[in-house]
Amino acid sequence: MALAGAVCAAALAALTAVPAQAHQRPQWDVQDTGVFDVRFRGLAAVSRHTAWVAGTGGTVLRTTDGGDTWRDVSPPGAGELEFRDIEAFDARRAVVLAIGEGEASRIYRTDDGGATWTESFRNTDARAFYDCLTFFDRRHGLAMSDPVDGKFRILSTGDGGRSWKVLPDAGMPAAQQGEAGFAASGQCLVSAGPSDVWLATGGAARARVLHSADRGRTWTATDAPVPAGDPARGVFALAFRDRAHGLAVGGDYRPGQASPRAAARSSDAGRSWRPADRPPPAYRSGVAWLPHSRSAALAVGPTGTDLTTDGGRTWRTVDTGSYDTVDCTPDLGCWAAGEQGRVARLER
């Protein structure tokens, strides 16, 4: 264990060191997924070797050899669905979310690496539109919908995604006019530890982050200092390395639109947020803490990848490739995914 810890520490130091030359920067190693007409906004990194991606056309791919080969494990008959979030427990068990109005919002689960899938939830309320899901552990998880009757709707599972129920909304604050979640990276609903969960919003006068400390039964809402006041602006992704320290990224997703103040940080479980002193230069849709680090994280978007080594105070661009989502694993495996079938693994 001591040797493994030393190796992780050395690798992390190499990843986050300020580069002396451009070629020494952390770089994405783009994988050959074999598909070019799919946009992968759902990503579940299990390890440096195993990862799942989900995207348009009902597509789900899985690798177990570090990205050398990818297997199409898409659910049968899902070609018309838009998968935007996937959560994987290991190489065999995963839960995937399809978004959309009414019955387009669905959840599937596999226990055999995608050889077979079971549809465990189909939305029957035309007013609901599910965006993201998250799991606290292998059994307990939540999924969130845009507001119904003026409040965000929360689904809950206690059996690993095999069944779902709508939670009462008595503990949910009222939504603002036009407020919603962004199904851009599978990171508008995230959790840390056994009971804490956060929900990111936009599209309204103020961007907000909602927090629950009891697995979604009661919530508090806090304004986030990122661009708002338009349906295209808000917080698009969250990442918490523990129940206290969080990062928020977003901005204006429209190409060519400025996104000042596109990142913020919290050190009190999301009760307050401070803008980054030097934020990413443009809209970012995904964010992830680097493993075994208290200060390093990556943010991704259509125009590039940014790295912070000071807990989100300042960010610097380290890559200009287009990615929508990013996820890291305890064994220092960081993956990103996006348009045109792009999937990549971070290399030192």
| 9 inside domain | no
Quick count: other Cβ atoms within 10 Å of Cβ 213?
15
- Of 68, 309, 55, the closest CA to residue 184 belongs to 55
Q: What is the CATH number of the domain that holds 57?
A: 2.130.10.10
CA 169 and chain centroid, separation:
24
Per-residue pLDDT of the chain (348 residues; tens, 9 = 90+): 333 343 344 445 545 554 434 445 678 999 999 999 999 999 999 999 999 999 999 999 999 999 999 999 999 999 999 999 999 999 999 999 999 999 999 999 999 999 999 999 999 999 999 999 999 999 999 999 999 999 999 999 999 999 999 999 999 999 999 999 999 999 999 999 999 999 999 999 999 999 999 999 999 999 999 999 999 999 999 999 999 999 999 999 999 899 999 999 999 999 999 999 999 999 999 999 999 999 999 999 999 999 999 999 999 999 999 999 999 999 999 999 999 999 999 986
5 within domain boundaries: no
- Whether 19 is covered by a domain: the verdict is no
Please tell me the predicted confidence (pLDDT) of residue 347: 86
Asked whether residue 226 is domain-assigned, the answer is: yes
Q: How many CB atoms lie within 10 A of CB 269?
A: 19
- Tell me whether residue 265 is in a domain: yes
Whether 50 maps to a domain, the answer reads: yes
What range does the domain containing 120 cover? Answer: 27-347
DSSP designation for 194: T
CA distance linking residue 67 with residue 159, whole number of Å: 30
For residue 118, being part of any structural domain is answered with yes
Give the number of domains in the chain: 1
pTM: 0.93
Judge whether 89 lies within some domain: yes
Q: Of 290, 284, 264, 260, which is closest to residue 275 (Cα–Cα)? A: 264
